[in-house]
Amino acid sequence: MKIGAVEIRALARLAPMAGVTNAPFRLIARECGSGLTTTEEMDAAALLMNHPHADAIAAYYPEERPLAMQLLGKDADILVRAADRLQSLGADIVDLNMGCPMPKITAKGKGAALMRDVTGTALVLRALRKTLGVPLTVKIRGGWDDEHLNAVAVAQMAEAEGVDAITVHPRSRSQRFSGKAPWTIIGEVVDAVQIPVTGNGDVRSMAEARRMMAETGCQSVMIGRGALGSPWVFDETLESRPPEEQRDYKARVIARHCELIRRHFREKYALIQMKKHLAWYTEGLGHASRCRVEIFQSASADEVWKVFQRYREQGE
């Protein structure tokens, strides 16, 4: 798939997730086969105020590229200036978050709330398109709630305003992440526009990614929660390898991820990230719940790693 001049060389790619898709995790996903990665959402106003958190989110490794950077906001002027900054920082694609369902975000008119004002959002996209020299994309939901499923209308508006590609998470804002993702909505968007469409929702393997493409006609698949504790989900060859080789491969990925976390972040935040990710990596280990308890009780990154290694060795 191509988004403007940016070529996506793999079927699946990592979805942006707040507090998760930082540079170390994105690079790991990229090395495992993700065709493109996207930063966590960055609040446009915070980015312009040089807020340390926003600057940290914008940090990336050169090896990640192509890289999409995602903005959160509602004010056209602020978004335009923030998008211009991301472009100068090296974003290959700028993505507007139109799908975040969290009340603290939508209450401010951002995220999925942009889907409620199609006319106003068209003006925002028009301003962004006029400013950006790199591709502009949007990530949307099925709609605000089950009575307002307007993904098709929003996608058609976005295409008319010059957006280069669309990602569709078909759950409504009111569903958040509950229930089954209605893939039929992705197919409806595919049929309604000419620009590339990426599907997202309830994909936890490459087999499911291929099924989504077959059922909806989407050109790419975004995997979010299915990659937590399993960044090798993007590796097309993993399932064909012998079990022992798979175990060794996963062990190398986990060790490299933790090494990147410790090099990239200061000790306090590195500890938070290692606890979070190693807890996800316990999936499938013997006594995983007990391991997670010890992980979250650990006081240092070294201790977290030793706890995880001990349980992993016992499991083997």
Q: How far is residue 257's CA from residue 29's CA, in Å, rounded to a whole number? A: 10
Closest CA to 221 of 235, 237, 208: 208
Q: How far, in Å, are 50, 69, 73, 134, 282 from residue 44 at the CA level? A: 10, 11, 6, 17, 35
Can 100 be counted among the known catalytic residues? Answer: yes
Q: How far is residue 224's CA from residue 216's CA, in Å, rounded to a whole number? A: 18
Name the token pair of 130.
Answer: 């006029």
Pairing of strands 136-143, 165-172: parallel
Place of tokens 């409806």: 188
Amino acid at 80: V
Q: How far is residue 102's CA from residue 117's CA, in Å, rounded to a whole number? A: 17
Cβ pair 280, 228 in contact under 8 A: yes
Instruction: Work out the number of other CB atoms within 10 angstroms of the CB of residue 108.
Output: 13
Closest CA to 162 of 195, 115, 113: 195
The gap between the terminal CA atoms of the chain, to the nearest Å, is 40
Q: How far is residue 89's CA from residue 252's CA, in Å, rounded to a whole number? A: 31
Name the token pair of 244.
Answer: 């022992």
3-state class (DSSP) for residue 197: strand
Cα torsion 252, 256, 259, 261: sign? negative
Catalytic residue, chosen from 100, 218, 258, 291, is 100
Cβ pair 60, 67 in contact under 8 A: yes
- Residues labelled catalytic: 100
